[in-house]
Amino acid sequence: MKLESPVLLQPAQIAADFADALAATLPLQARFDALHRAARAQIDVPRALREDRLNRLRTLVKANAEAFAAAISADFGHRSAHETRLAEVFPSLEALRHARRHVGGWMKPRRVSTSLLFRPGRARLIPQPLGAVGIIVPWNYPLMLAVSPLAAALAAGNRVMLKMSEFTPRFGELLAQRVAELFAPDEVTVVNGDASVGAAFAALPFDHLLFTGSTGVGRHIMHAAADHLTPVTLELGGKSPALIGPDYPLARAVERILAGKLLNAGQTCIAPDYVLLPAGDEAAFVELARATVQRMFPDLARTPDYSSIVNDRHFGRLQGLLDDAAVRGARLEPLSDLPADPASRRFPPVLLRGVHDGMQVMREEIFGPLLPLLPYRDFGEALAYVNDHPRPLALYLFDNDSRRQQQVLHGTVAGGVTVNDTLLHIAQENLPFGGVGPSGMGHYHGEEGFRTFSKMKGVFLQSPLNGMALFNPPYGRLMDRLLAFLTR
């Protein structure tokens, strides 16, 4: 709470500022209780209030876009401001525009067909808010991965508590301050803190909990939620392959794969994690990749367009992946002459050849600018490799052959797919986003997000004219005939 000119403030304003500051310091349980009570007190949330909350959130994002970008960059050591605008501000505003435009239609009761046997009765679906929703936000895209699910939860009429990552503390504190200025503590509240706070947050009895992060942490989140039977949406990660068809233009594939891989220096849950390419194309891929990096980042050491690794721990983890691969026989192909710099945490992109599943880089999600190349001799062999491994969050196919496109789309299972590009399926508000198996469960974005955070309550409206009395006891021949007809 900042009081620059206390003599000018009215008592009501002082009281409001004090209340906001107090709410920010309340214990976790008390903040949850306030949300929970408010949700139970107002079950039917009108359209106007939902739209107002979405408008306030849009105002918050637009008014603070530059400050948010600066805070995120400070948390990373350096984060490209253009990447923040492109990959965080734009999709956040797009999610809010989409929800604001469609919330009126989404929340209308829907008539569904009624079996002929039960007419003239009628059936309806009535969307209702779940109540108090928890959202656990990761560090890699802290603005977009807070706002996008928050937009869906608010459109559905919920009250929301967000837990921000301890790896982006500056942004987390700034978001908490800005949210407290525009939302009551029992509407939306932001929690910051370390892993112990996160564990306590996950153990609260939310009506729904959404977590975005690693598969390993996701297991703990699901376990904590199970104590209260809290339903969860888990947006995890894994090994997302890029598959290049046998006659697709290699230069085009390389450019689009690297554009997706090097956004945020590879710290993207749906970044390509390895490339399956026709045997014999590896050397050409390496040369094209070097030329692409030189074109995108002509001065990698000083360009503001290349982001740093978020902290020393993740920088060391990436170096450990490279060291392990080299010891186990991989051939490292640096795409820049710049060495990895622990001081700036600027990690240059590296391709890896001769990799195998015994290497850590092929067992763990990379989350950085390292990209293994796996040659295949037969297209079916490439599909078999994908299907023999845990189902990925994303799959990227580069192929203009419609037969092979259908073969991949129908012959593999992945959370989402982009054909002849990378990442773009996540930007489509009309497409659900979510993983499958180890890469996650549940969906959000657009109407799918509204449904995730709503109870689609089924209602049957009986007609005054109905034949249900025919099924009352005592049972006899008429019931036998009716049952014979129903079970024919």
Q: Is 329 helix (H, G, I), strand (E, B) or coil?
A: coil
Q: Does residue 173 have an active-site annotation?
A: no
The C-alpha atoms of residue 168 and residue 170 are separated, in whole angstroms, by 6
The C-alpha atoms of residue 463 and residue 122 are separated, in whole angstroms, by 8
Q: Does residue 66 have an active-site annotation?
A: no
The C-alpha atoms of residue 173 and residue 142 are separated, in whole angstroms, by 12
The C-alpha atoms of residue 56 and residue 58 are separated, in whole angstroms, by 5
Strands 232-235 and 370-376: unpaired
Peptide bond into 474 cis (omega under 30): yes
Long-range contacts of 351-356 (CB under 8 A, 24+ apart): 351/285, 351/286, 351/289, 352/322, 352/325, 353/282, 353/286, 354/329, 354/330, 355/274, 355/325, 355/330, 356/328, 356/329
Nearest to 268 by CA among 428, 449, 86, 453: 86
Cβ atoms within 10 A of the Cβ of 486, count?
Answer: 9
Nearest to 307 by CA among 80, 68, 66, 72: 80
Nearest to 162 by CA among 55, 49, 67, 31: 31
Marked catalytic residue, from 83, 88, 269, 364 = 269
Marked catalytic residue, from 235, 282, 333, 365 = 235
Q: Is 32 helix (H, G, I), strand (E, B) or coil?
A: helix
φ/ψ bin of 466: left (φ > 0), alpha (ψ from -120 to 50), beta (otherwise): beta
The C-alpha atoms of residue 159 and residue 187 are separated, in whole angstroms, by 5
Q: Residue 192 gets which letter from DSSP?
A: -
Per the CB < 8 A criterion, the answer to whether 257 and 268 are in contact is no
Per the CB < 8 A criterion, the answer to whether 398 and 376 are in contact is no
Q: Which residues pair with 126 in a beta bridge?
A: 457
Rg of the chain over CA atoms, in angstroms?
26
**Strand positions, DSSP E, 236-393:** 241-244, 274-278, 331-334, 350-353, 370-376
Question: Is the Cα dihedral 382, 387, 390, 396 positive or negative?
Answer: positive
The C-alpha atoms of residue 379 and residue 402 are separated, in whole angstroms, by 14
DSSP readout, 370-419? EEEEEEESSHHHHHHHHHTSPPPSEEEEE---HHHHHHHHHH---SEEEE
Strands 274-278 and 241-244: parallel
- Give the active site residues: 235, 269
